[in-house]
A and B are shown apart, each in its own frame.
Chain A
Amino acid sequence: EVQLVESGGGLVKPGGSLRLSCVASGFTFSTFSMHWVRQAPGKGLEWISSISSTSSHIYHSESVRGRFTISRDNAKNSVYLQMNSLRVEDTAVYYCARRNVLAPVGIRFDFYDLWGQGTLVTVSS
């Protein structure tokens, strides 16, 4: 079955750290870029991190840059999000998502075609 399964969420105090994992199955993980997207309670979706298939290109949103680090291990079909210096405003459901890219002649577009079920991170004292 093609799927993504996140883990590692939980309750952490402000200033603490947490490492999220996302394990992929059912597809050739090493050929896809992977992203982390979060959703605060009652709020919209927010892109936070991306990593290319070979880890050569890594980007983070301004809201997490310098505190969060995305990484992947293609041998383990896994992508990770190391979250340091956590803040109350980082409380959210964190989704990993596969970014697919299609490039028909003269056109290129990308989109999330596979999402995990999400893992809840709560930052509170």
Chain B
Amino acid sequence: SSQLTQDPAVSVALGQTVRITCQGDSLRSYFASWYQQKPGQAPILVIYGKNSRPSGIPDRFSGSASGNTASLTITGAQAEDEADYYCDSRDSSGHTWVFGGGTKLTVL
């Protein structure tokens, strides 16, 4: 089955820009979506489709994709952005779904 690979941990200085990546063969066929999860809470959607944000998600969050890689960029990271971030997409079969292993973002 397909896998999505994320860096386990990334850090960023307050106010700086950080990119979190997600790699997988299925991303050549399907868009990734991105979720933020804080401790003890359910995940929330932050980016979907080509680069769309649900209402309530700040515009410092953006998404992009190229080849087998999807990226989540936070421009001007804030302390409240410290969380785990997961990508997900359909598996290459199109009938199952897969999450990346997650990236723990630390805002310094």
Taking beta carbons and an 8 Å cutoff, which residues of A are in contact with B? Answer: 35, 37, 44-47, 50, 57, 59, 61-62, 95, 102, 107, 109-113, 115-118
Contacts and interface: CB of A to CB of B under 8 A. Distances in A.
Given A109-B31, A112-B43, A112-B45, A45 B86 contact: yes
A35 B96 CA distance: 10
Interface in B23-52: 30-31, 33, 35, 37, 42-45, 48-50
Contacts of A35: 97
Given A35-B97, A109-B31, 18 more contacts: A44-B99, A44-B100, A45-B37, A45-B43, A45-B86, A45-B88, A46-B99, A47-B98, A57-B95, A95-B42, A95-B43, A109-B30, A109-B48, A111-B45, A111-B49, A112-B88, A113-B45, A116-B42
Contacts of B90: 110
Contact of A115 (B42, B88, B102): B42
B58 interface: no
Given A47-B88, A113-B54, A102 B43 contact: no
A115 B45 CA distance: 9
Q: Which label, helix, strand, loop or mixed, suits the secondary structure of the A interface?
A: strand
A95 B50 CA distance: 26
Contact of B96 (A59, A102, A110, A116): A59
B76 interface: no
Contacts of A117: 42
Given A109-B30, A112-B43, A113-B54, A47 B86 contact: no
B49 A109 contact: yes
Interface in B75-94: 84, 86, 88, 90
Contact of A59 (B42, B49, B54, B95): B95
B66 interface: no
